[in-house]
Amino acid sequence: MNYFRTAILLAGLTALFLAIGYLIGGTTGMIVALAVALATNLFAYWNSDKLVLRMYGAQEVDRRTAPEFHGLVEQLAARAGLPMPRVYVIDTPQPNAFATGRDPEHAAVAATTGILRALSTEELAGVMAHELAHVKNRDTLIMTITATIAGAIGMLANFALFFGAGRGNGEGGNPLGAVGGILIAILAPIAAMLVQFAISRSREYEADAEGARICGRPLWLASALGKLETAAKRIPNAAAEHNPATAHLFIVNPLHGHGADNLFSTHPSMENRIRRLRGMAGVAGPWG
């Protein structure tokens, strides 16, 4: 059901992108918007992992430089039936982690120094299993495409405000005129953001469930999430604050001021996530 919902939301986001192109420039505008969407997604497909890892100053580690952490990821990847991803560490005190890469063969997982210090081995296993679940479910590609289209919608909306609003209603102009251009500029980015956040929350729930199955202990991840939520609220992540568009990548929201499970949240509420994991533990038997 989560995959069907994600497909519908992605289709809606793409349709919104094309509709904005049409409203700005008619049929020609829609074709140009489609070309832009294809170009931006192609660029993101090949380069998003490198960009985000560089953005956070992530350093790759191996068996020699981080034997315990690297070995843990290696064991979990084998349990998940995945190729071994590249493993990175980010030097920041906020405990957090994310996965990136266009497919399981080109994936990377990153953990902060804060999370390596804050969690037990079992809790860290739960977190990294969650990140490997994102890789297995190809969420890293889905969220990259989602973020790219949402960003492109914002770009088109600005174009509508500054260039399209004053044009006529002909084939080459904005059919809605000046008022339409203003409405597009205001409402389109909000709509794109809401769809992006809805997709992100849906994929987090699925990764929690799959991650619990990979590590075999739902309560390991549940315990980790509780600690991470508390720590993320009091320990800032400067790089994330400067790049809020990447917040959805992390296992818990790295930004200060984030709230509950609502339309404007990149992540589901922690209470709901932990409740679901505890439910899995209760159904499966005595875990943890």
Residues taking part in catalysis: 131
Question: If we measure between CA atoms, which residue out of 140, 126, 114 comes closest to residue 75?
Answer: 126
Q: Where are the beta strands (DSSP E) in the chain?
A: 59-61, 86-90, 97-100, 108-112
Query: What is d(CA 247, CA 115) in angstroms, rounded to the nearest whole number?
Result: 16
C-alpha distances in Å from residue 255, one per residue of 63, 238, 241, 244: 31, 9, 6, 7
Q: Are strands 86-90 and 108-112 parallel, antiparallel or unpaired?
A: parallel
Query: What is d(CA 33, CA 156) in angstroms, rounded to the nearest whole number?
Result: 8
Question: If we measure between CA atoms, which residue out of 255, 218, 224 comes closest to residue 237?
Answer: 255
Burial class (CB in 10 A: 0-12, 13-18, 19+), 54: exposed
Helices (H), 56-138: 67-80, 113-118, 121-136
C-alpha distances in Å from residue 67, one per residue of 61, 75, 111, 184, 247: 9, 12, 14, 52, 28
